[in-house]
Structure 1
Amino acid sequence: MSTPSPADEPLICSAKGCRAPAVWALRWNNPRLHDPDRRKTWLACDVHRETLGDFLDARGFLRAVAPLSGSPTLEA
């Protein structure tokens, strides 16, 4: 019997306390700390996409929101 690897684990939403599968990638950077081309990523489920995006956008950090490729809950 094989042991599951971390790559086999579903990606989880970044919202505090949420354990739902992530379906969105929120790409962001803090211009005071990061080079303009650098992107950090928060993962979001459908429920938290807007609140996480609003948090980043209010600070001027949000750069893009895209469907998370390979998500088991999105159609290919």
Structure 2
Amino acid sequence: MEDEAPHCSRKDCREPAEWVLVWNNPKVHTPDRRKTWLACGEHRDYLSDFLGRRGFLRETVPFADFTG
């Protein structure tokens, strides 16, 4: 099976990842734990808003600059 290129985390979106949304749920994760969602340009705001409303979003980084 061929490796698939990283794509947006929005349900049913197959667009290439342009952004990395770094998040953490403080009720579940230790403070140093970081999870990531990938976003295309179209869905960056939607996914950021979703995480931000819950207080989970820590930072948004261009995919090309992410060193994870």
Q: Which runs of 4+ in 1 moved over 4 A?
A: none
Residue 40 of structure 2: which of 39, 45, 53 is its match?
Answer: 45
Q: TM-score, normalised by structure 2?
A: 0.89
Residue 35 of structure 1: which of 23, 30, 34 is its match?
Answer: 30
Larger Rg: 1
DSSP-derived class of the 1:25 partner? strand
Structure 1 portions without partners, runs of 5+: 71-76
Structure 2 portions without partners, runs of 5+: none
Query: Partner amino acid for 2:8?
Result: C
Percent same amino acid among aligned pairs? 57
DSSP-derived class of the 2:64 partner? coil
Is 2:64 aligned against 1:69?
A: yes
Question: Aligned partners of 1:69 and 1:32: how far apart in 2?
Answer: 30
Say what the alpha-carbon RMSD is for the aligned residues.
Answer: 1.4
What is the number of residues matched between the two proteins?
A: 65
Q: TM-score, normalised by structure 1?
A: 0.80
